[in-house]
Chain A
Amino acid sequence: MTHNEIHVDSIEVTTVINGHEVLLCIDPSLRLIDVLRDKLELTGTKEGCGEGECGSCAVLMNGLPVNSCLVPAFQIQNCTIETIEIVDPGLLQPLLKSGAAQCGACTPGVVMTGEWIVRNPDVLDNGNIRELMAGNLCRCTGYDGIINGMQDRINQDLPGGIE
């Protein structure tokens, strides 16, 4: 076995999670969501479908939205992971006002996908908010609350706003 072959019980990964560098010794068959919730007790991220369809487990990995239920933990080596816990609650007032959260199961994923759009408004060239957030399913709000709240949240950060 070469030095790069890693066997069975545990692997070591170094990663930056919510701004903190962490060294983890983990079972290689874990997913990113398992590491977040069970190893690091970052339980803000929710598991919904476990098959990449609902987006409730969305987090940012190297700045891009990903479903943490589909990310093998062995691939987070040297990555930057951001979860709902890093988001300043004060910035979420527009979402609260618009009724973007009801039962709350989808909310962490919605907020993290929204963070990606807020930080990278040029992605709106590839689709409107509703299209870019189509990977975050919500059974409560009918989406208008989410879309309107996101629009206001983006306008908060962009003096000129968006159309």
Chain B
Amino acid sequence: MKKLSIKLKITIWFTTTMILLSIVVFAFFMLISRNTSSSQVKNTLVNIVDENTREVSYDDGEIDIDDDFEMLKNGVNCVVFDSSGTKVSGYLEYDEFGLEKLEDGVLKTVIVNNERYFIYDKLVYDDDDPPIWVRGIVNENNNIFLSSVMYLSILICFPLLIILASILGYFIAWHSLKPIKEISKMAEEIEKSGDLSKRIELKNNKDELNNLAVTFNNMFKQLETNFESERNFTSDASHELRTPVAIILAQCEYAFENATNTDELYEAIGAIQKQGYRMSKLIESLLQFTRIEQNIENTTMQTINLSSTITSICEEYELIDIKGITLEKYIQNDILFNADLSLITRLCQNLIQNAYRYGNENGKVIVTLKEENNSILFSVNDNGIGISEDEISNIFKRFYRVDKSRSDGKGMGLGLAMVKQIAEMYDGTVKVQSELGHFSTFTVIFEKGLNES
């Protein structure tokens, strides 16, 4: 049974149930018809005997049996006896029928040769003449017509019923399993072709299988987006790694074939080292980025004092003193937030670091943290190179750098992508306001209520 397909199983179950059901119905029907038929036989017997009594009379002292007297009608055998009990007319199949005592209006049951017979007697009075007996005998199973129809129907209908039931069962199974077949066919196609953009066609009915198809489609969609972003990430990353590799190989080739003195060799080695640093920095950022992506489940939620966290990050930057930039901070005290400390630190660091990187020499970076209408606003402002309008939509993309010609090996174009990813983890949003050549302000907004629920 385990090896059979569900379709076949359903068909077999359906057919078996149908057969069992019809057997029960037939048995029930036979039981009822048996009872009704024996009472029907008795009625027929009484009726025929009664009818025949009208056809018996005396004619000139002799018993006269009219032509309308029916000796055998509907299986009822009629015999005429005179008042002394001597058979006048009729045929007795078994002697026992004649030996039975004559009793007027009484219906008796006699068993001869293991078969049940009904016997009914009727006295006919004709004026002063001695009465005449009319006896009717009938087999209990006389209802030949009914039973033969029954057997016939059983004989013909049963195989027909089985065939019909199995066809119907198969059809029902096929029809109800059709969507499953389509789903598995589609899944197989996707497996073979690897094309995740394919979807299962949906019907309009809203049954369980349709729900299953919808679930499958959603799963495919999710998989597709995941794979797509994975693929983009790999292609972006490989693209970013190609340039330094190309430079290293080119420098080597030049050094081997064209360098004429040690100065040129040193220059080549210096260039190679620079690209090596660039690659190592890139790999580090890539690792960090993928770790954030993969370890979302491993983060520990805790209540962070955002105010003190951000204050200490700001103080670090003030100490390092990059490009003569002054940092101003307006931080509201004791703002609490539920999140992973290392992720939130990374988010704040990336934004402040960007402000320093793209800020002007001797410029100003303003860090603000405040709570307003149940949302937390963290913003970092710099008066640096700014971002043009058409670039704003791109800055959160991985590996996108506003100032592309800066191949100083510092910015990898991953910082803002990380900021966005972390913010979205905590249902936050990142907003940018900027004017090219004047300023940029990045604001991260967390809804407090959302985060705590």
Binding partners A and B? no
Contacts from A to B (Cβ < 8 Å): none
Contacts from B to A (Cβ < 8 Å): none
